[in-house]
A and B are shown apart, each in its own frame.
Chain A
Amino acid sequence: MKKPVIIDCDPGHDDAIALLLAFASDALDVKAVTTVAGNQTLEKTLRNALNVLDFAGIEVEVAAGAAKPLMRDLIIAPEVHGESGLDGPAFPPSKLKPSKRGAVEVIVDTVRKSDAKVTLIPTGPLTNIAMALISHPEIKEGIERISLMGGACFGGNWTPAAEFNILVDPEAASIVFGSGIPITMCGLDVTHRAQIYEDEVETLRKMNRKVATMVAELLDFFGKFHSRFGFKGSPLHDPCAVAWVIDPGMIATRKLHVDIETSGEFTTGATVVDYYNVLKKDKNADVAFDIDRERFIKMIFDAMKHYD
């Protein structure tokens, strides 16, 4: 049986690839896509989600969620994703229309109606997920797991101590990590190892498929930012959270306790991972540390063959 999932995202280059990976998989039944403000404003991340899905010929309910974090002003990442949030390829106007329902309503309703427990895959700030859990705590029972891209055991990217998705809405992250729902945390520790190299981007382009070429163009833009920080390739952050749900054996995790710092001067948004178990607290997350990179890249290639 296919695993029912909801993808909550803020496309975003790597979000776009995560979406395409999920919809191509025989293992997943993507019930809905919800969007959140993060990499760009809500208006732009919603438009980008619709553009990518329509471009790939995917029909699904796409619902807009929070326009800003629970308690803070929005931080966006135009340095990484451009002014549109998805700079690079040109998209024709999308025929896919946004849902009339909001993200929280779609998440809650999908979980309630599903026979099997639903897996949530958030690849942006955790605002929508936190709002769903605050407003309808009973849905926890219907959530199998949250496989998220965010945080890091070692270091950060947007500040020295914090990864972008958690930094944008640390209070939401604190609600999610404190929810008791099983969590797989695909943070920078693993996503920085999930890089796609330039020659592999060329392989995508040479597939001569419309969607694969679009992905190559996304990675052309995405790679420029990362080469400035000395990366050999582009880290495919968000696809890791999807890849774990499809094929958990590909990613090595450790069960650890994770707290979210919400009140530091220099550390707000840090996922504080108790690597040595000094706090002796309940372990609330499977923290990802390593990935079989070649198997992962092959999974991306195979997914692209699914599209025109």
Chain B
Amino acid sequence: MSIPVIIDCDPGLDDAVALFMAFASDELDIKAVTVVAGNQTIDKTSKNARDLVAFAGGKCRVSVGASKPLLRELSTAEFVHGDTGLKNIVLPRADFDFSKEKPHEIIYEEALKNEGKIHIIALGPLTNIAAALLLHPDLKEKIGHITLMGGSCYLGNHTPAAEFNIFVDPEAAKIVFESGIDLTMVGLDVTNRAMVFEDEIEEFFNLGNRVSRTVGEILLSSLDFVREFGFEGVPMHDPFAMASVIEPDLMETKQYHVDVETRGVHTSGKTVVDVYNVRGLRPNASVGVDLSREGFVRLLKRLMKKYGE
């Protein structure tokens, strides 16, 4: 039986690959794609999301959400994702309109309709999810699970201490981590290792369909950037979060208590993971700590191949 999911995202090169995976997967029943500002401004991320859903042949609602974090000004990651948010990737324009409902309405509606089973896969800053939780105080009991790409036990990427998605809206992240909802945190500890190596990129071109070729182009366009940081391949942050829902065995998790720093001068947006449980608090998240890289790449290829069928 497939899992009813809502995908909240800010495409974003890696969000694009994650969406392609989701729409190819029989394991997921995608109820809606909700969009947030993050990797780029909301006009760009929502246009990209709609075009990506259309390109993948998806039929779900696409809803435009928050244009800025709850309390802060927006930081984007233009240096990673380019001016359009999809760098050099050009997609055909989608032939459908955005949903009239806001993300928080869709999330609430689907949470009720799916009777506690809805699984939210959050690939950007957590603004839309936090807004939904603030507007609907009873929502937290009605969401089945949230899997989020964000944070890390150890190092950050946007600052030395903070990962980008949490850094952009730490207050929203704090609301989500303190909500009591079953959470899986797919952070940099695993996603930095969910790499596609350079010599594996060719295979995506060889799969011979337009979606897999686009994935190949995305991987190629990210190579220079990641080489600058000494990575051996392209880390697939959002796609690995998606993979962990489609095939949970790909990721090993540990139960930890996680706090979100919102006040530090040098650490704002850091997920503070109590690895040794020195504070003795109850765990509030399953945190990804290890993965099968080969298994992930195999899944990515299997799903991309389906677009040729």
Task: Give the contacting residue for A157; candidates B156, B266, B270, B278; CB below 8 A.
Answer: B278
User: Chain A's interface: helix, strand, loop or mixed, by majority?
Assistant: loop
Roughly how many angstroms separate A154 CA and B153 CA in the complex, as a whole number?
A: 8
Chain A residues near B161 (CB-CB < 8 A): 261, 267, 270, 272
Task: Give the contacting residue for A264; candidates B157, B158, B261; CB below 8 A.
Answer: B261
Given contacts A155-B275, A159-B279, A160-B273, contact A275 B261 (CB under 8 A): no
- Total contacting residues, chain A, CB less than 8 A: 29
Roughly how many angstroms separate A274 CA and B157 CA in the complex, as a whole number?
A: 9
Question: Are A267 and B278 touching (Cβ within 8 A)?
Answer: no
Given contacts A160-B279, A265-B261, contact A278 B157 (CB under 8 A): yes
Roughly how many angstroms separate A267 CA and B159 CA in the complex, as a whole number?
A: 14
Roughly how many angstroms separate A32 CA and B262 CA in the complex, as a whole number?
A: 42
Question: Are A160 and B266 touching (Cβ within 8 A)?
Answer: no
Measured CB to CB, the residues of B under 8 A from A are 153-161, 229, 257, 259-268, 270, 272-276, 278-279
Roughly how many angstroms separate A259 CA and B264 CA in the complex, as a whole number?
A: 11
Tell me, rounded to whole Å, the shortest Cβ–Cβ distance linking B226 to chain A. Answer: 11
Roughly how many angstroms separate A276 CA and B276 CA in the complex, as a whole number?
A: 25
List 23 interface pairs A-B (beta carbons < 8 Å), by A numbering: A153-B155, A154-B153, A154-B155, A158-B278, A160-B259, A259-B265, A262-B265, A263-B265, A264-B263, A264-B265, A264-B266, A264-B268, A265-B259, A265-B261, A266-B259, A266-B261, A272-B160, A272-B267, A276-B157, A278-B157, A278-B158, A279-B159, A279-B160
Question: Are A161 and B153 touching (Cβ within 8 A)?
Answer: no
Measured CB to CB, the residues of A under 8 A from B are 153-161, 229, 257, 259-268, 270, 272-276, 278-279
Question: Are A267 and B274 touching (Cβ within 8 A)?
Answer: no
Question: Are B276 and A157 touching (Cβ within 8 A)?
Answer: yes
Roughly how many angstroms separate A154 CA and B263 CA in the complex, as a whole number?
A: 20
Task: Give the contacting residue for B155; candidates A262, A263, A275; CB below 8 A.
Answer: A275
Chain B residues near A276 (CB-CB < 8 A): 155, 157, 160, 229
Question: Are B266 and A261 touching (Cβ within 8 A)?
Answer: yes
Chain B residues near A160 (CB-CB < 8 A): 257, 259, 272-276, 278-279
Roughly how many angstroms separate A160 CA and B275 CA in the complex, as a whole number?
A: 7
